[in-house]
Chain A
Amino acid sequence: MKETFDVAIVGAGPAGVSAACILADAGIKTIVFERGEYPGAKNMSGGVVYGHDLAQIIPDYVDHKCPIERNIIESRIWYLSKEGGYSFGYRDSIFAAERKHNAFTVLRAKFDRWYAEQARKKGALIVPSTVAVDLLRNDKGGVVGVVTGREDGEVRAKVTLLADGINSPLAARAGFRVEPKPEEVALAVKEVIELPSEVIEQRFGVSNGDGVTIEILGEITGGMDGIATVYTNRNSLSLAIGANLADFATSKLRPYELLEAFKQHPLVVPLISGGQPREYIAHWLPEGGYDTIPALYGDGYLIAGDSAMMFNAMHREGSNLAMASGRMAAEAIIEAIGRGDCSRKGLANYGKRLAESYVLKDLKKYRRFGRFRYRHKEIFNEIPALASLAGREMLTVNGVSKKQKQKMIVKEVRRKMSILRIARLLWHSWRAVR
């Protein structure tokens, strides 16, 4: 391909396609490389997309037949021991009315394909089945295009946007991002389980295409720093479970066995009973947080989304950070091309925009959260077990006085955890989220 472009984008996920939409709207000649057979073929997330960030790129996405699975009106949190657990939740009718589509579930193979199609309609060239294997550099090291795995596969561009996701050997090879250490990523596996729409609505107490998300912590991750999720789709449930990769390496728990055990949990069984598994996939999540974000731009290139480690583990936000950073990258590129300066200096507005936005502010706020969970394994071990003991004993009516039960529970807590350990946990948890 001897053609030259203004902008080459690596990866047709939410970051790359958001940028492509904004660039194409501004009449900038843009090419997007996607290694999958189609956009979304390699992508995975729990499955929530946020309307606010999508609307900033496609304001009328609902009218454009965005493949929304279910509009989320309730978020539940479960804290589980092996046998039982606690369930909290927040449901609000506002999320079915004025704030409809604040959050909605998607299946990425459908959503990403739809999203890339919007960029194509705006004029961006989307090239699937094409791996970016290297970057073209000038003699000063600046990026001047992409080398693809195709024959004659060099494409020159004024600016290259790396939006190739968390697993990016390209960014590592180019020296733009170090390879993550095992403790800086979580490995998650996901199963899509098919169930009739009316069964899902009955089991989750919803109607009219509304849905529920459940975030689950506790003994289900076998003592590892991790989380599981159950999200409702139209005709299926997305079940995912993941943990820190370093924890997987030391615990020797197999991801697919962890998923099977999760599916057998007494609180999960009634939700998935009778369902048909339809797909099993795996992906990383960026867990390193703010302190592992690489240099976000340089001469002729920028990095956005998961590729730049933008993931807010505290609030399960990632697709929105990808969309917002892709949009801001595109805005900075438009300015840079307008001024004829695509150097590091010319692209610096990208960093400025991100720093002023919620993207970097939120990631900075929770910069200690990942480390906190990784260090405090009692969150996934002793505490859920003790919490379940307390719940079980207090709810059992057996002639023993409540005072005596309380004494027994406190004694058990003290046996498992010292006062100092509890104090440290409380102090660190405050520091991790303040």
Chain B
Amino acid sequence: MSLKIEDKLFLDRFRIDEESHLRIIDMEKCLRECEQRPCLYLCPANVYRLETDRISVNYEGCLECGSCRIGCPYLNIEWRFPKGGYGVSHKFG
């Protein structure tokens, strides 16, 4: 019963804001300077994905742990809490 990350996030309840609470400040830095790109691996919701010309930020499934914010070697991620009542809502916790 191996669950993919998409299946796992499908179990959760989200109230999604139209506006992202996560933002990569300087994409050029990610593409040109950052070699390790830990955001692509350590995010437990696979929010950051490498596309052909950029890193996409799939904030809709963010579990709000904060790991990308302090794990980014360039501190290149602007991270806010979603607006009050938005984001993930734990049913069990």
- Which positions in A face B, CB cutoff 8 Å? 35-38, 40-45, 107-112, 128-131, 148-150, 167, 169, 179-182, 185, 187, 189, 191-192, 236, 245, 248-249, 252-256, 260, 263-264, 277-284
Contacts and interface: CB of A to CB of B under 8 A. Distances in A.
A182 B83 contact: no
B42 A256 contact: no
Given A191-B8, A255-B44, A182 B92 contact: no
Contacts of A192: 92
A167 B80 CA distance: 11
Contacts of B12: 279-281
Contacts of A254: 5, 41-42, 44, 46
23 contacts: A35-B82, A35-B84, A35-B85, A37-B15, A42-B90, A130-B84, A150-B84, A167-B65, A236-B92, A248-B42, A249-B38, A254-B44, A254-B46, A256-B5, A256-B46, A277-B11, A278-B11, A278-B92, A279-B92, A280-B3, A280-B9, A281-B63, A282-B44
B42 A255 contact: yes
B8 A249 contact: no
A277 B6 CA distance: 13
B84 A182 contact: no
Closest 10 CB pairs of A and B: A108-B93, A129-B85, A109-B93, A280-B8, A167-B66, A282-B44, A129-B84, A282-B63, A249-B38, A255-B44
B52 interface: no
Given A187-B44, A248-B42, A279-B92, A169 B81 contact: yes
A125 to B, nearest CB: 15
Contacts of B85: 35-37, 128-129
A337 B21 CA distance: 37
A70 B92 CA distance: 15
Band of interface residues on B: 35 or more
B42 A284 contact: no
A282 B84 contact: no
A249 B67 CA distance: 10
A284 B5 contact: no
Contact of B67 (A107, A128, A284): A284
Interface in B22-72: 36, 38, 41-46, 63-67, 69-71
